[in-house]
């Protein structure tokens, strides 16, 4: 809304939620409302939907503004999701601190060299071949450089020091030597500027992870499925029960996921509209609005059908879980 106003576009409605307004007021030519369906919100900009009635000669409607302004307006929605993730992430980092790796064993991989030699969850690795270690990377470097030769590990178990000798095994898929452990993490507060940097980087790293997961799902490298509003609400409720930190972490993840999804170049999404603005800029003339609208309508119908399918799967999963 703010970007549309800055670009001189007419904003008819700003809505939190979907459906008929529960409460609303009008100011500056814009209706501000709260609606009952809490699946996000929308900004209604005059002329964005070619089927609506508007003065096509009005220079301040969406299709009559410069393409770079239309581009900025379309990017602004997903950008708000990223900004939300950054601000909440910054609050979490300043309040609770950043995740820092420890040398406390969180999990021992079944069938690994570590399990064979008796390493247990909760053990703290204090040294490798007599060299003190304080973070997981210290252990990883020495293990990978071992060439498979047995390594002496200094361990604290229940506060008592013990020694273990473990011969790393070569991972056939990655070609590196490993002992087969996952180290734990703790949150620790760091310098203020580090929190600012981490808050900016976090949504970018999460976006890359989400895009990789989407691709892995498409190529069937991993098993899984999509989650609809019910599944998201269930995850949020579960996170809330674990405390404010877990709740804020899942809000960050959802915000980034919404931003990534909306930027996908699919008809009906902001990414699809951005794609058409780009094509029109290259062609130096706009596509027939009626044709573009039909393409977006097909995309919206497909997305609605997808929403119905994933919501049905969410209901089915909840029902069968309740029924045991």
Mean pLDDT of 115-139: 90
Neighbour count for residue 259 (Cβ, 10 Å): 23
Structure tokens that stand for 284 in this block: 């130096």
Q: What is the 3-state secondary structure (H, E, C) of 159-184?
A: CEEEEEEECCEECCCCCCEECCEEEE
* pLDDT score at 34: 94
Structure tokens that stand for 185 in this block: 């993490």
Per-residue pLDDT band at 92 (split at 50, 70, 90):
very high
CB-based contacts of 60, cutoff 8 Å, min separation 6: 8, 9, 10, 46
Structure tokens that stand for 167 in this block: 């011969």
Q: For residues 121 and 181, what is the distance between their CA atoms, to the nearest angstrom?
A: 9
* pLDDT score at 322: 60
Q: For residues 267 and 51, what is the distance between their CA atoms, to the nearest angstrom?
A: 16
Domain ranges of the chain: 98-188, 190-324
- The reply to whether the predicted model has a pTM over 0.75 is no
Per-residue pLDDT band at 152 (split at 50, 70, 90):
very high
Least-confidence region, from 38-47, 155-164, 266-275: 38-47
Structure tokens that stand for 280 in this block: 């029109």
User: Is residue 187 over pLDDT 60?
Assistant: yes
Tell me phi and psi for residue 30, to 5 degrees: -115, 135
Q: For residues 98 and 189, what is the distance between their CA atoms, to the nearest angstrom?
A: 6
Structure tokens that stand for 29 in this block: 């030519």
* pLDDT score at 225: 62
Mean pLDDT of 310-321: 65
The chain-wide mean pLDDT, for the chain, equals 85
* pLDDT score at 226: 64
The DSSP result for 100-111, as a single string, is EEEEEEEEE-TT
* pLDDT score at 311: 67
* pLDDT score at 39: 65
* pLDDT score at 153: 92
Is residue 255 within 8 Å of residue 84, measured between CB atoms? yes
* pLDDT score at 268: 80
* pLDDT score at 285: 85
Segment 249-264, tens digit of pLDDT: 888 988 898 899 889 8
Segment 4-50, tens digit of pLDDT: 999 999 999 999 988 889 999 999 889 999 998 776 788 999 988 76
Q: How many CA atoms lie within 13 A of 224 on its CB side?
A: 11
Structure tokens that stand for 171 in this block: 């991972």
Pick the CATH number of 98-188 from 2.30.42.10, 3.40.50.720, 3.40.120.10, 2.60.110.10: 2.30.42.10
Element housing 24 (H / E):
strand 23-27
User: Is residue 3 over pLDDT 60?
Assistant: yes
Is residue 62 within 8 Å of residue 70, measured between CB atoms? yes
Q: For residues 234 and 282, what is the distance between their CA atoms, to the nearest angstrom?
A: 44
* pLDDT score at 235: 72
């Amino acid at each position: 809304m703010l970007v549309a106003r800055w670009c001189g576009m007419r904003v008819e409605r700003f809505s939190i939620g979907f459906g008929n307004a529960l409460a609303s007021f009008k100011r500056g030519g814009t209706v501000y409302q709260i609606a009952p369906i809490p699946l996000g919100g929308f900004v209604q900009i005059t002329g964005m939907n070619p089927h609506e009635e508007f003065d096509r000669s009005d220079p301040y409607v969406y299709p009559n503004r410069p393409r770079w302004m239309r581009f900025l307006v379309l990017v602004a929605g997903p950008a708000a999701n990223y900004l939300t993730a950054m601000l909440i992430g910054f609050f979490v980092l300043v309040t609770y601190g950043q995740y820092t790796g420890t040398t406390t064993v969180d999990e021992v991989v079944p069938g690994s060299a570590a399990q064979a030699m008796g390493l247990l969850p909760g053990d703290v690795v204090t040294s490798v071949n007599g060299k003190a270690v304080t973070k997981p990377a210290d252990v990883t470097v020495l293990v990978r450089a071992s060439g498979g030769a047995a390594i002496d590990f200094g361990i604290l178990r229940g506060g008592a020091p013990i020694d273990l000798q473990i011969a790393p095994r070569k991972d056939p898929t990655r070609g590196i030597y490993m002992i087969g452990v996952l180290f734990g993490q703790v949150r620790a507060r760091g310098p203020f500027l580090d929190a600012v940097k981490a808050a900016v980087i976090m949504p970018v790293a999460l976006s890359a992870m989400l895009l990789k997961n989407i691709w892995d799902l498409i190529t069937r490298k991993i098993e899984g499925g999509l989650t609809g509003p019910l599944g998201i609400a269930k995850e949020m409720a579960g996170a809330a029960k674990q405390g404010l930190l877990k709740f804020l972490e899942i809000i960050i993840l959802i915000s980034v996921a919404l931003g990534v999804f909306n930027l996908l170049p699919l008809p009906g999404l902001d990414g699809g509209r951005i794609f058409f603005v780009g094509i029109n800029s290259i062609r130096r003339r706009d596509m027939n609005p009626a044709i573009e609208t039909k393409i977006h309508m097909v995309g919206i119908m497909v997305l609605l059908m997808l929403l119905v399918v994933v919501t049905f799967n969410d209901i089915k999963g909840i029902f069968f879980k309740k029924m045991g």
